A and B are shown apart, each in its own frame.
Chain A
C-alpha cells in the first residue's frame, strides 16, 4: 500500500501566483481531508469530502482557497492568488467514512512557501 500521496512535496512561489496542491488518497478510502499546519495556528482542518462530495468547508480561510475532488482517487487544493501568509505545510488525509475507528491516514505533506 503506497499510502496517501501528495505532490509536490515542496513548493516555492511568489505572491499573486496560483498554487495547486495534489492528493491521491488510499485506494478504497471514501473520505478525504485537507489540513494546514503552521506554528502559530497548529493543525487546522480546511475541508473534507465524503464520496467526492464536499461536506464541510468551514475551515477554508477565504475565497482564495478552493478544493475539488473530481473522482475517488484525486483531489486538489488551489490557492489563487497566493499570499505570504499562506506559507504552511498542507496535509491530505483519508479514511473509510463510517468505520468504527475513523482513523485518518496522513500524507507526507506539501511545504508551501509564498515569497
Chain B
C-alpha cells in the first residue's frame, strides 16, 4: 500500500527566511506527487505537482519542490517566506495502476511564518 509521511506537525519560520516542509513517500512504480495547501476555513488547493520530467517543480506563490527518487522524498521549499504563506500543507502521492491510482494524503504540516 502506498503511504506518505510528513514528519513535522508544525514548522515555524521567520518572514524572509527560507522554508522547507518535508515529505517522504512509498508507492509501487513511478509516483505522481502533489502538494496541496489549505488556508483557514477553505478547501484544499493544488500548489504544485510532479508527474514526470524535471525533478525540480515550480508551483504557485514562489514555492518549489524537488523530487528525489533515491530518497523517496518530495520536500516543499520557498527561498523567502511570507506571513501570508501561513497555512496547512499536505503532501499526496498516487501510483499509476489499480487502487494505487487514488491519492494518499499525508497528515499535514502547519506552517506558521512569523513577522
Contact = CB atoms under 8 A, between A and B. Distances in A.
Partners in one complex: yes
Contacts of A107: 43
Given A45-B102, A48-B102, A103 B46 contact: yes
Contacts, number: 41
Contacts of B49: 101, 103
A91 B43 contact: yes
Contacts of B45: 106
A99 to B, nearest CB: 10
Contacts of A4: 43
B71 interface: no
Interface residues of A, number: 17
A61 interface: no
A91 B49 CA distance: 21
Interface of B: 32, 34, 36, 41-46, 49, 51, 90, 94, 99, 101-103, 105, 107-108
Interface of A: 4, 42-43, 45, 48, 56, 91, 93, 100-104, 106-109
28 contacts: A42-B105, A42-B107, A42-B108, A43-B44, A43-B90, A43-B105, A43-B107, A43-B108, A45-B102, A56-B99, A56-B102, A91-B44, A93-B43, A93-B44, A100-B51, A101-B32, A101-B49, A101-B51, A102-B94, A102-B102, A102-B103, A103-B46, A106-B36, A106-B43, A106-B44, A106-B45, A108-B43, A109-B43
